[in-house]
Amino acid sequence: MTDRPKEFKTSWGAPLKPVYGPQDAPPSDLGAPGEFPFTRGVHPEMHRKRLWTMRQYAGFGSAVETNKRYRFLLEQGQTGLSVAFDLPTQMGYDPDAPMARGETGKVGVSIASLEDMQDLFEGIPLDRVSTSMTINATASILLALYVATARRQGIRADQLSGTVQNDILKEYIARGTYIFPPGPSMRLITDTFAYCKDRVPRWNTISISGYHMREAGCTAVQEVAFTLANGIAYVQAAVDAGLGVDVFAPQLSFFFNAHNNLLEEVAKFRAARRLWARIMRERFSARDPRSLALRFHAQTAGSMLTAQQPENNIVRVTVQALAAVLGGCQSLHTNSMDEALALPTERAVRIALRTQQILAHESGVADVADSLGGAFAVERLTGDIEEAARVYIGKIDDLGGAVAAIPFMQREIQDAAYRYQREVEDHARIVVGVNEHVTDDLPPGNLFQVDAAVGAALAERVARARSTRDRDAAGRALDGLESAARGRDNLLPLLVAAVEVGVTLGELCDRLRGVFGIHRPSVTF
């Protein structure tokens, strides 16, 4: 039998007591669900009145092939789409660019033109399906393509609902799919805020993301602190650009990781909500309750999936999804059991979706708002996470804010990731099937594979699209975008106009690279 550890600690290293009582819980500051400080949820009845949106992150190869997966998921009862883009699309390259060679369609769907976006959503009514797009450096261009695609379906922009991730700061900190330096990147983000405020009012203009920092190895406290510090930077940038806080803040959303430790994760979500409400009211003088309420999408922890005994991942994902639901998520993606090995098969993705549906309809956890509220251990963890995150945010403020503090956050994440890995290697932390309860089972043989010829086919397709468009109209659109980029005009209307006359994502990014330059991170040792 595996020995239990001699000490029990939180992810950030604080000791855990064997039992908690009234003396351990912080002073009562619960309030009610739907009321400031939103500790217990952003709606009075939470999931009892409306279930979270069930999404499955999907994208591979061509838009046509990915559309088939979307239709399959919707037929299985999924209630919202979540688009995974390939690396060339994330980095601003068309499929025929030299930098895209060998990467097109490999870890997501390739989208270079309006024709691609139309194929991606063929037969899917965009006024009735909410779409989340995990895209950052090129978020404004993908939103423009989405708006233009809706127009081709006869759907107005004000009928669209969904989210663009649009969180470039965490790319500099932990993920790496950035293009432009921070200044121009922040401009594109605030331009998106302003554009959507009037034209796409039901759209979440940013999903401020702790997910990828947690995947890189940060603790629960760091995930809350660094995510909210980035949120502060975006709000300040929008205010500095002349936007009223209560005008744009209701369209902000967040994206968190749902990790393995059930009670800690529930407390993390509750602490993030409470701390953000206080930040928005105290620091930015927000008054609209929608500006104070932190709404979030959660995804189960990809970094916790194991290639060894992949069926065990079904159980891990269930625990993580349960934490997200008990923590009050508005939207949820559940990872598939085979994602440590390959893109998920239809069977694996159906099991992941069924996990959400069983939690929603059979477990009872959706029937009561904040059902763990008042539990001594949960309330103590909620208070501890909030206070520790507040201390981190103070340090980031002292360094000059989130942009200036990027190297600090990177070092903190690296140190936390190292500590975690040492604990696994020293058997201080048990990972079933990896360092305990190990078997010699071979990995499954029925893994999903992307067609190796997809890159060449898509490169030919985008070249053909360029050759058949109105060349003069495309040239004028690109010249207009470049001129506006050198000034201060909002770039979103120009991006929409450009994609409608056939300008490609790579062409748009090349013009913007010419004006803005590219980000080259400093290397410190």
Residue 180 lies in a domain: yes
Residue 157 lies in a domain: yes
pLDDT of residue 310: 95
Residue 26 lies in a domain: no
Q: What's the CA angle centered on 373, arms 368 and 375, to 5 degrees? A: 125
Return mean pLDDT, the chain. 95
Question: Mean pLDDT over residues 280-308, rounded?
Answer: 97
CA distance 71 to 106: 20
Residue 467 is encoded by which pair of tokens? Answer: 């050759």
Residue 456 lies in a domain: no
| Alpha helices by DSSP H, 208-364 | 211-215, 220-240, 245-248, 262-282, 289-292, 312-326, 346-361
pLDDT tens digits for 388-398? 999 999 999 99
pLDDT of residue 453: 85
Number of domains in the chain: 1
pLDDT tens digits for 440-451? 887 777 787 778
pLDDT of residue 27: 67
| CA atoms in the 13 A half-sphere facing the CB of 50 | 10
Give every CB contact of residue 239 below 8 A, 6+ residues apart in sequence: 245, 284
Cis peptide before 125 (omega within 30 of 0): no
Is 0.75 surpassed by the pTM of this model?
A: yes
Question: Mean pLDDT over residues 471-478, rounded?
Answer: 98
pLDDT of residue 25: 82
Residue 497 lies in a domain: no
pLDDT of residue 497: 98
Residue 523 pLDDT level (bands cut at 50, 70, 90): low
Contact 512, 488 (CB under 8 A): no
Residue 371 lies in a domain: yes
Residue 291 lies in a domain: yes
pLDDT tens digits for 307-343? 999 999 999 999 999 999 999 999 999 999 999 998 8
pLDDT of residue 425: 95
CATH of the domain at 126: 3.20.20.240
Question: Mean pLDDT over residues 64-82, rounded?
Answer: 94
Residue 307 lies in a domain: yes
pLDDT of residue 477: 98
pLDDT of residue 442: 77
Whole-number CA gyration radius for the chain = 23
The residue segments making up the domain with residue 377 are 46-425
According to DSSP, residue 35 is labeled S
CA distance 304 to 235: 32
pLDDT tens digits for 362-418? 999 999 999 999 999 999 999 999 999 999 999 999 999 999 999 999 999 999 999
pLDDT of residue 525: 37
Question: Mean pLDDT over residues 267-281, rounded?
Answer: 98
Closest CA to 410 of 189, 169, 86: 169
